[in-house]
């Protein structure tokens, strides 16, 4: 191992430099959460100052037309704004790091598609993507943009009437009165439509979970790292990969504003915590990886090769 991750005390570190230098010489699997997208204007659920949220569960959504009307009325407004969000400096830096070979796999809990828009290719969207729609009847998948056009045509003036409502992290808005909103159905079978994302109370498809486990299992405890970015790890869908890494002796660095579910694992000596913004950390990491390696002039060619 060419350089170790700094040993952490229970109090999270706030200085990024030592961690940037340590991660710069490692390959890593990245696990990203909502904190990655806050600099793109998309709020998160659990960051400092975030208000309490109660997203719709899968069980509520499939309970019938009333719940689906409430969901789509809100989502129609929220997604029209989320789709205009651009990748931030952190997304772009992570894509650039992937191009250098530093990123083995990018596992994201986000559904906004910003990693892909930034140019990342080895992305596993753990919870799906809000830009896709699935029919609960026949299983056909269609583009969310097409459904958005159908909803706009069926509900003229709805967007203008509610233009100032607050956007929520999962792509909808704060809105109580949704009566009268017309919800389009599947053009193939007339079934109910659902965004192709994993709701609270719904299971992540097993194939995705196994793919992510395999990525973590491929990490070398001596040379690699699991890098968690902008996630409080509150839900098990992401936290299980931290536990898997720790069980295999793989170091974990969590870069997040605010406490995380992994904080008690700092005592293992394998989990390290940095209370820091993800965009700032990743841009510094990109710069460190791109920095040319220089050696003292007195080194022989053989010594230079060995050092490199």
Task: List, by residue number, the catalytic residues.
Answer: 127
Give helix 236-247 / helix 206-217 axis angle, nearest 10°.
Answer: 30
Helix (H) or strand (E) holding 148: helix 144-154
Give helix 89-100 / helix 278-290 axis angle, nearest 10°.
Answer: 30
* Whole-number Cα distances in Å, 227 to 23, 24, 101, 249: 9, 12, 15, 14
Q: Considering just the CA atoms, what is the radius of gyration of the chain in Å?
A: 22
How far apart (Å, rounded) are the C-alpha atoms in residues 36 and 150? 31
How far apart (Å, rounded) are the C-alpha atoms in residues 191 and 207? 26
């Amino acid at each position: 191992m060419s350089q170790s991750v700094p040993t952490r005390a229970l109090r999270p570190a706030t200085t990024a430099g030592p961690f940037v230098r340590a991660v710069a010489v490692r390959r890593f699997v990245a696990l990203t959460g909502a904190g990655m997208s806050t600099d793109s204007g998309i709020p998160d659920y659990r960051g400092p100052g975030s208000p309490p949220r109660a997203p719709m569960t899968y069980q509520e959504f499939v309970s019938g037309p009333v719940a689906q009307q409430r969901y789509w009325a809100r989502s129609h407004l929220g997604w029209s704004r989320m789709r205009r969000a651009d990748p931030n400096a952190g997304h772009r830096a992570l894509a650039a790091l992937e191009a250098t070979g530093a990123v083995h796999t990018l596992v994201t809990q986000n559904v906004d598609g910003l990693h892909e828009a930034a140019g990342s290719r080895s992305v596993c969207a753990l919870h799906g993507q809000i830009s896709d729609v699935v029919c609960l009847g026949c299983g056909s998948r269609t583009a969310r943009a097409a459904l958005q056009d159908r909803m706009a045509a069926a509900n003229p003036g709805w967007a203008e009437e509610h233009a100032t409502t607050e956007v929520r992290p999962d792509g909808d808005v704060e809105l109580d009165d949704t009566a009268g909103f017309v919800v389009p159905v599947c053009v193939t079978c007339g079934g109910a439509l659902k965004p192709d994302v994993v709701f609270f109370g719904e299971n992540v498809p097993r194939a995705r979970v196994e793919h992510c486990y395999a990525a973590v299992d491929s990490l070398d405890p001596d040379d690699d790292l699991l890098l968690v970015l902008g996630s409080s790890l509150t839900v098990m869908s992401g936290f299980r990969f931290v536990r898997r890494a720790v069980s295999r002796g793989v170091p974990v660095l969590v870069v997040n504003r605010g406490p995380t579910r992994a904080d008690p694992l700092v005592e293992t000596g394998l989990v390290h915590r940095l209370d820091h913004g993800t965009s700032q950390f990743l841009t510094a990491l990109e710069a460190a990886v791109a920095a040319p390696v220089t050696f003292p002039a007195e080194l022989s060619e053989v010594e230079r090769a060995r050092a490199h």
